[in-house]
Structure 1
């Protein structure tokens, strides 16, 4: 055995061997001997295991054993020594050439608690050379092996650069992802036992890669509360800590193999909503079920908005009286709304919204274009409109008419009070604006412009109506009208990013239009001169 137990002749083992032989005769019919593989290894079970799992290559196994040469002397035993005192079990890594090949192949078939007799031919033991003076050439060996336990060891990198052994199993089944923020405890030592780095609570984003690569790779395989031991080669060792400083003392060579004890305390799931890290949701408490709000859902939320310096900018709703709005109708900050429609009922999250996604609710003059808004938001509840594929024909017709004539429901009535007239006015503007947005998506640009005009007749300073009407004008090449609306919108809201972007698009379309006109005239004049 390469790095095998140091065999000694054990006279006491003869009785044990005879006892095993007697036991074998009694249970041979119940547990017949079977061949493992095609190289002559044979196994007879003495006692079945108590699980269905077997160890894998690389796992650290713990066994008791007794061995002897077939028809000859007894070898060593881990159960008793020559003074008949109990010894410690043997530990080794399976499939790593730490024992003879017959052991690697045979023990890989065992279950926890199983005990079996293995007959190992010379080609899977010490071969033609033997192991003088104890084991003669071409010896067949017999071992009585009991599987006590094993620790799973995984090669996380495929090159043995990071070997992970679970020392305490975690809870649940989920593991962190690249974007998630994890909280860990760890202790790292050199091979000689010198402590080089330790933390009782390091929190970092996995994808940032600013801590030991071995830890970054390992935590993505761990469950909440799991503890593991990592055997780390130099290429995966410490570089910088979470603050950008090296964790390794300058007097200690960084190119050293390490042993790291790491515990995954917890993590927060982080979702890049817009895939450009401009709207990021960090889940604090998961919600119920699998459903999320969609277009037209009536949403109930509670949120607090803070600026970069931590000052509170806006607060909406409470658990008793949540803030209510209709999703995807531009009634709240665009970035916040994008995050909310990914949330489940009861979910709590921290949402960071970059300036690019403030939308028309951008707090102009208060929030710098280089800042972000930070929302603490809880989705209390939501109600979806009945999906069209579940509606019968009458319901579909009613829904179409209801949306088509929504503004008519709130036309002024002689019975309206002044307060009711103001509320109806605001609702009618909202209906017309939403209808205009739908018409733009459907390509009905003329109708979209008319709806925006209705809004502007009531509210000449409505930036959203000017913005959408300019979009409609551009689509039908009414560039002068589009520019007039854009300029008016910028006058009322000079910091509105969307209006600025639309102005740039308009300028480019105007240049393209002039270029096309010039090319057309250039081709016309030569023909006219003929």
Structure 2
């Protein structure tokens, strides 16, 4: 694939009709189709259409190989070509060309480019592009799951299909687990395809059924095959729980009807209309009738899992949402499923019918309004916490902390400035942020995220080392992560500040009891001598 700069200096190019930016440019080995007109001394002498050849293989005169390599599909250009480049190829294209040293003008339209690629570089699988509708779309990644149409035929009988399957789910990360013949070749081809692209793979026998053949499919031993595949769509996967600041892999969203938009409702108070199409645990149907829900995302009308998923859906999107069997993710809230901890994952099918216009992801641009907005979101979080919706509270508190950095960098500037220029607003923002961090620690303790609880308290104690609530919750977090020595240290720090603090004394006793219990269990498991060495 070359550009105009790759033409010899004595061949002049003038673009008559420019191709669109995304148009395909041919490379050596591709099949191309052109229309042409030949002009000599301002007199048209020859023209033709439907001329097909393989680029760079010497099937046409040298001039055409050189000049077509600089074009894109849909482009029309004029080339002034010296006589020295007019040799090669069939005589019919050179019949009326001069042999007296005159330049020749070719006006050429590149009608089609059929890309041909040796996928593995050994001639074992040759890919031929048949149709490409979406030149802008993304290509699948190795971790994606895609939907394809698939057809299989013998190379010797291309019109007689041995197998045809439509709307097949193909897992890129586990191509060996797919049941299609030539899965390795299909995986390789898909990595460079875009949605609505249709290709044909000519697969040598060792990339197909091999020396044994495949009697069930009607493939004799040592037989080459043709595989035609169309990339229908790329499923979009997203960890919706992680986007809500929850633990990873709790709520995984797979878009099966995708929408080319970045706009999502989020949790900041946008109304939405969502349809719950089904819910399954294995093959057991948990929701037998469709449920239409009109709600404000994040208000808690739906269960935590659906709140998290809907916050990340686009208008018109249909998604399968796979949720861990943690009871608090499924109830309370629509559809309020009673799921036991030992059950399998729950798979919801949702359709985002409509939603309002969400506020800016970065929050209000005015600092006073930003502070008011964050105070309101903190209030929403506190309401959720009181109602026992700890994950929804965790998301709101996390959102407030994320929206209140101390510094920002204005667009186009290389230096950072204070977000809140007013000292009173700055102080209120820091106090609000630390309150939310302490509340996050309380949520984390409820969710058995002991390490996270201690981390949130660390942030508060950096600015306020004498904060008793932060010391106490950090001690609880350290106890939960079996860091007994540091937990006792935090309790002692509290008692130095408040000698009469009963909660700190009780917690210190609990820490020592659990430390003794752990030591006893280690002795039973490993023996006293080994435990003493480890200590």
TM-score (norm 1): 0.54
Is 1:261 the counterpart of 2:222? The answer is no
How far does the alpha carbon of each residue in 1:118-165 deviate from its partner, in whole angstroms, 9 at most, with x for none? Answer: 44538x847xxxxxxx9xxx9999988664533231427372655544
Query: Which residue is 1:419 aligned to?
Result: none
Query: Which residue is 1:108 aligned to?
Result: 69
Query: Which residue is 1:420 aligned to?
Result: none
CA contact (8 A) 1:175 1:220 kept: no
Is 1:186 the counterpart of 2:147? The answer is no
Query: Which residue is 1:414 aligned to?
Result: none
Supply the RMSD in Å over aligned alpha carbons: 6.0
Residue segments in structure 2 that go unaligned for 5+ positions in a row = 89-94, 243-247, 395-438, 446-452, 461-466, 489-506
Query: Which residue is 2:54 aligned to?
Result: 93
Distance 1:518 1:215 in 2: 59
Secondary structure of the residue aligned to 1:104 is: helix
Is 1:476 the counterpart of 2:487? The answer is yes
Distance 2:317 2:209 in 1: 36
Match of 1:169 among 132, 138, 145: 132
Paired residues, number: 401
How has the CA–CA distance of structure 1 residues 217 and 175 changed in structure 2, closer, same or farther, with 3 Å as cutoff?
Answer: farther
CA contact (8 A) 2:151 2:227 kept: yes
How has the CA–CA distance of structure 1 residues 400 and 101 changed in structure 2, closer, same or farther, with 3 Å as cutoff?
Answer: same
Is 1:310 the counterpart of 2:277? The answer is no
1:351 offset after TM fit, Å? Answer: 0.6
Where does 1:445-456 land on structure 2 (aligned, <5 Å)?
447=469
1:292 offset after TM fit, Å? Answer: 3.9
How far does the alpha carbon of each residue in 1:261-317 deviate from its partner, in whole angstroms, 9 at most, with x for none? Answer: 333344433335689877532213446852445566567555453211231169996
Where does 1:1-400 land on structure 2 (aligned, <5 Å)?
36-37=7-8, 42=11, 48=16, 51=19, 55-63=26-34, 89-99=50-60, 101-109=62-70, 112=75, 118-121=81-84, 125=87, 147=108, 149-155=111-117, 157=119, 159=121, 162-171=125-134, 173-178=136-141, 179-193=143-157, 195=160, 197-207=162-172, 208-209=174-175, 210=178, 211=180, 212=182, 213-233=184-204, 236-237=207-208, 249-254=218-223, 256=224, 258-271=225-238, 279-286=251-258, 289-292=261-264, 302-303=275-276, 304-312=278-286, 318-319=292-293, 321-322=294-295, 325-326=298-299, 332-333=303-304, 338-345=308-315, 347-355=317-325, 361=330, 366-367=339-340, 369=342, 371-379=344-352, 381=355, 390=365, 392=367, 396=371
Secondary structure of the residue aligned to 2:346 is: strand
How has the CA–CA distance of structure 1 residues 402 and 109 changed in structure 2, closer, same or farther, with 3 Å as cutoff?
Answer: closer
Distance 1:98 1:116 in 2: 19
Secondary structure of the residue aligned to 2:200 is: strand
Secondary structure of the residue aligned to 1:218 is: helix
1:175 offset after TM fit, Å? Answer: 3.5
Secondary structure of the residue aligned to 2:150 is: strand
Distance 1:523 1:312 in 2: 50
How has the CA–CA distance of structure 1 residues 147 and 59 changed in structure 2, closer, same or farther, with 3 Å as cutoff?
Answer: farther
CA contact (8 A) 2:144 2:235 kept: yes
How has the CA–CA distance of structure 1 residues 166 and 201 changed in structure 2, closer, same or farther, with 3 Å as cutoff?
Answer: same
Bigger Rg, which one = 1
1:229 offset after TM fit, Å? Answer: 3.4
How far does the alpha carbon of each residue in 1:412-446 deviate from its partner, in whole angstroms, 9 at most, with x for none? Answer: xxxxxxxxxxxx9x946668986322793531796
How far does the alpha carbon of each residue in 1:425-472 deviate from its partner, in whole angstroms, 9 at most, with x for none? Answer: x94666898632279353179637989xxxxxxxxxxxxxx9999679
Distance 1:508 1:313 in 2: 48
Query: Which residue is 2:456 aligned to?
Result: 442
CA contact (8 A) 2:153 2:162 kept: yes
How far does the alpha carbon of each residue in 1:213-255 deviate from its partner, in whole angstroms, 9 at most, with x for none? Answer: 333333344444333334445565468xxxxx9985352425x
Where does 1:460-499 land on structure 2 (aligned, <5 Å)?
476-477=487-488, 478=507, 481=510
Distance 1:314 1:509 in 2: 52
How has the CA–CA distance of structure 1 residues 430 and 332 changed in structure 2, closer, same or farther, with 3 Å as cutoff?
Answer: closer
Distance 1:201 1:169 in 2: 18
Residue segments in structure 1 that go unaligned for 5+ positions in a row = 1-33, 71-76, 80-86, 127-133, 240-244, 411-423, 452-465, 487-502, 525-530
CA contact (8 A) 2:162 2:217 kept: yes
Query: Which residue is 2:91 aligned to?
Result: none
1:198 offset after TM fit, Å? Answer: 3.0
1:203 offset after TM fit, Å? Answer: 0.7
Distance 1:299 1:292 in 2: 11
Distance 2:115 2:150 in 1: 18
Secondary structure of the residue aligned to 1:189 is: strand
CA contact (8 A) 1:182 1:205 kept: yes
CA contact (8 A) 1:288 1:346 kept: no
